[in-house]
Amino acid sequence: MSTRALDGLKIIDLTRVLGGPYCTMILADHGADVIKIEPPQGDEVRDWGPPFLTRDDGTRDASYYLGANRNKRAMSLDLARPEGRAVLLRLLETADALVENFKPGSLEKWGIGYDMLSARFPRLIHCRISGFGADGPLGGLPGYDAVVQAMTGLMTINGDPAHGPVRMGTPIVDLGTGLYAALGIMMAIHERGTSGRGQFIDMTLHDTALALLHPAGANYLLAGKRPAATGNAHPNIAPYETFPTATCDIFIAGGNDGQFRKLCAILARPDIAANPAFATNADRLANRPALKATLTAALAGHDGAAIAITLIEAGVPAGAVQPVDVALNSAHARHRAMTADLDGIKTLGTPIKLSRTPGGPRTAPPAFAQHQSEILAEHGFTAADIAALEQDQIIRPRRR
């Protein structure tokens, strides 16, 4: 088996739903031993379907869960009880990082907040993912992707201005928070190599959503003008939007004047580039409706997929608008290993391609408590200890 970049790291994952599990999946993809600890009722996204995978024992897991939990090992633990917290502390003795998304104050209430953990485990990195953080005007309030999209302006810059604010089609705030959290953990691990000390990472959906407001946030901070939704068009660049053709819509991203002139030449319409109204990007933005109408007419007789390939091969960014199934089954997606089959469960691949230490999907998303006995045995629990924990319902073989 190839050496992976994060081999040797142990991550205790107390997260549920998406931002946290997505973070730890990124780490697991590249070799970290991620131990997913679920409450007695399990991670609720196991129920967020259909579609569902029905396992051999009759339990079922939703695709929402499967898509964010590959390469992990799973066990259950009731942290509301002191005996469960004692088990967690045993697991943390050899852990590099703890990732959790409890409501701020929950772990402190149980006596296992960061102050206590850092005193007992000074090298431990503790990453908390929450909606808004523990303090401030919104501190401690629950956060959900779409709600935070609404509160931070993301919805108002998405969609068509005629139809009002629109939620983004992917949970971009949850995914972005997971990505930032994984990056933060690796930063803290790198710094620990010098200081020998762990630290607390305070990740929030709110902060991530605001950080994702580029270029709308940068435009507002410079010009003081409230950004508005522009549909598929870009607020700073033209042409940069979808155009209809004889067969399908295509997206053209003419990022500079040279690309625009090349576009017009390929369409056999150099007169468009010669028009003073379209001479520079600022001119094209000022005259966007006329530019859209002119290019739409010039593209009307073309096969969309063919002209898009012609354009991109010539250095003009363009692509046919494709549905998800077509994109995932494309020749290039297969070439880039962006889908995989794990014991009959199809999953997305990793976009992080490392030359010497490749990562990616290895093991299927675990069933509830699938690795419970082996994890506990690795941490010094005897068979009798494990049986007693199960008898007392500190751990469970099946969801409550």
* Residue 174 among the catalytic residues: yes
Cα dihedral 75, 79, 83, 89 sign:
positive
Rounded to whole angstroms, how far apart are CA atoms 201 and 385?
33
Burial profile 15-44: b = 16 or more Cβ within 10 angstroms, e = fewer: bbbbbbbbbbbbbbbbbbbbbbbbbbebbe
Instruction: Report angle CA 23, 29, 33 to the nearest 5 degrees.
Output: 85
Cα separation, 27 vs 34, whole angstroms: 8
SS3 content of the chain, % helix, strand, coil (to 5): 40, 15, 45
How far are the Cα atoms of 164, 242, 295 from residue 292, in angstroms, in the given order? Answer: 22, 9, 5
Q: Coil, helix or strand for 173?
A: helix
Please provide residue 377's backbone torsions phi and psi, each rounded to the nearest 5 degrees.
-60, -40
Quick one: tokens of 92?
A: 């943390």
Q: Read off the tokens for 239.
A: 């042409």
Give the residue from 94, 85, 99 showing the smallest Cα distance to 201: 99
Distance CA 354, CA 174 (A): 25
**CA separation for the pair 69, 86 (Å, rounded):** 25
Catalytic residue among 56, 174, 385, 392: 174
- Provide the annotated active-site residues: 174
